[in-house]
Amino acid sequence: MSVTYEVVDGVAWLTIDRPEARNALSREVCDGLWEGTHRFVADGSAAVLVLTGAGDRAFCAGGDLKEMAATSLEIPPPDFLPQFGRNVDVPKPTIAAVNGVAYGGGFLLAQQCDLVVAADRARFAVSEVKVGRGSPWAAPLSWLVPPRIAMEILLTGDPFDAHRAQAYGLVNHVVPAGELRAHTQALAERIAANAPLSVKAAKRTAYLSRPDVYDRAEEIWAPVYLSQDAQEGPAAFRDKRTPIWKGR
């Protein structure tokens, strides 16, 4: 299985288990994330969800570019993968335990969680501009970080480390890699020990001021997804060469 689900003392651990591919988002992984998300929402024994990746290199390196090149993926369908609070309602709290790189779709998954705990070796990037793909899902970024920081993250696609992510406000805690699971479990258990109705209401209250900008972002990014460059990026990755951008 590419995604596993286990409950430990009221905390559900949803793990992308594809370390040989840096936990990239293949179709199988996306299906597993959907199954695990629905299972958590319905699971009365789990009060908090922790999303993480297997291995010591990657939380999730983003979309599977080789698979995208093979399928000539254009605009991802709305249900391509679960985006908590956008295409699936997850009323209980969620935590991303970021154990390594969180690039592209991996950044998306961490961003959509309510809290983020990162290993000190973790790195983050909205890397779509480097491969000609789109990031309409990053529309709330200016709500999470100062606008000029969001602009730099989106325009450069450059990775930044866990301590910078914490300084930006994207990460709650940075811990040594060997302590990530224990620290995240303890944080989740503190949340799980609270009154469940109060916790759910607190989560909804925190998102009241979040802008609903996804529809406009989808319009902006549609021509990018449909461009020749959007196919060139994954093809260049597959062929291990530098992409040749045409701007069309």
Q: What is the pLDDT of residue 104?
A: 92
Q: CB burial class (10 A; 0-12, 13-18, 19+) of residue 34?
A: middle
Domain membership of residue 203 (yes or no) is no
Condensed to tens digits (0 to 9), the pLDDT of residues 98-124 reads: 999 999 999 999 999 999 999 999 999
pLDDT at 135 over 90: no
Sorting pLDDT into bands at 50, 70 and 90, what band is 211? low
Q: Which two tokens stand for residue 85?
A: 């609070």
Looking at residue 45, its pLDDT comes to: 97
Q: Which residues contact 54 (CB under 8 A, 6 or more apart)?
A: 15, 16, 17, 18, 19, 23
| Domain membership flag for residue 68 | yes
Within a domain: 213? no
pLDDT, residue 131, reads: 80
The residues that bridge with 88 in the sheet, in sequence order, are 84
pLDDT, position 69:
61
Asked, for residue 233, whether it belongs to a domain, the answer is no
76 or 138: whose pLDDT is higher?
138
How far is it, in rounded angstroms, from Cα 45 to Cα 180? 23
Q: Could you tell me the two tokens for 29?
A: 């992984």
211 found inside a domain: no
Please tell me the total count of domains within the chain: 1
Residue 178, domain CATH: 3.90.226.10
Asked if the structure places residue 222 within a domain, the reply is: no
The predicted-structure confidence for 232-245, as pLDDT tens digits, reads as follows 777 887 888 888 87
pTM of the full structure: 0.86
Q: Note down the domain range covering 148.
A: 3-194
DSSP 3: E
Q: With 0-12 CB in 10 A as exposed, 13-18 as middle and 19+ as buried, what is 55?
A: middle
